[in-house]
Amino acid sequence: MTTRSAMTAIATALLLTAAGLLGACAGPKSTALVHPEKVQGLPICTSCHDQDRAATDHDAQWMRSHGAVAVRDQRTCEMCHQVSSCADCHAGKEEIKPSDKRPSRFDTATPHRGDYLSQHRIDGRVDPASCFPCHGRKNQGRCRTCHQ
Partner 1 sequence: MALVANAPPAAASVTFESRTYVPARGTDGGNTHVLLYEYLALDAEDIATPGLYLRAGGWGRTDLADETFGRTTNGDLQYAFLGWRAPRLNGEARVGRIALTAGVARNEVFDGLLLGSDLPGGFDITAFGGIPVETDEGGRSSDSLYGARLSQGRTGLYRIGASYLKEENGGNPSREEAGTDIFLSPLPLVEVRGSSLYNVIDKSWARHDYRLALGPFFGRLRLSATWASTDYLSYFQSPVHPAFAPEIAEKLDRIGGAVEIGLGGGVTFTGEYTAYRYDVSGDAQAYGAGLDWAGAGFSAGGAYRQVQGDAEENRYQAIRAYATVVYRLVRISASAEHLTYDEAINGVKNATTGTLSLGYNLSRTLELSASAGYGETPEFDHEVKGLLAVLWRYDASMKKGGTK
Chain positions 76 to 115 lying near partner 1, rule: CB under 8 A, are 80-84, 86-87, 90-96, 100-101, 103-104, 106-107, 113-115
**CA-to-CA distance for 13 and 19, rounded, in angstroms?**
10
Identify whether the C-beta of residue 62 lies closer than 8 Å to the C-beta of residue 107. no
Identify whether the C-beta of residue 57 lies closer than 8 Å to the C-beta of residue 45. yes
DSSP 106: T
Q: Residues 8, 20, 58, 111: which binds partner 1 (CB under 8 A)?
A: 20
CB of 5 to partner 1, least distance (A): 10
Q: Is 139 in the site for partner 1 (CB under 8 A)?
A: yes
**CA-to-CA distance for 41 and 58, rounded, in angstroms?**
9
| Residues numbered 39-68 forming contacts with partner 1, rule: CB under 8 A | 39-40, 46, 50-52, 54-55, 57, 59-61, 65, 67-68
CB of 48 to partner 1, least distance (A): 13
Tell me, by CB under 8 A, how many residues bind partner 1.
102
Identify whether the C-beta of residue 119 lies closer than 8 Å to the C-beta of residue 131. no
Identify whether the C-beta of residue 92 lies closer than 8 Å to the C-beta of residue 133. no
CB of 4 to partner 1, least distance (A): 12
Q: Is 70 in the site for partner 1 (CB under 8 A)?
A: yes
Q: Is 8 in the site for partner 1 (CB under 8 A)?
A: no
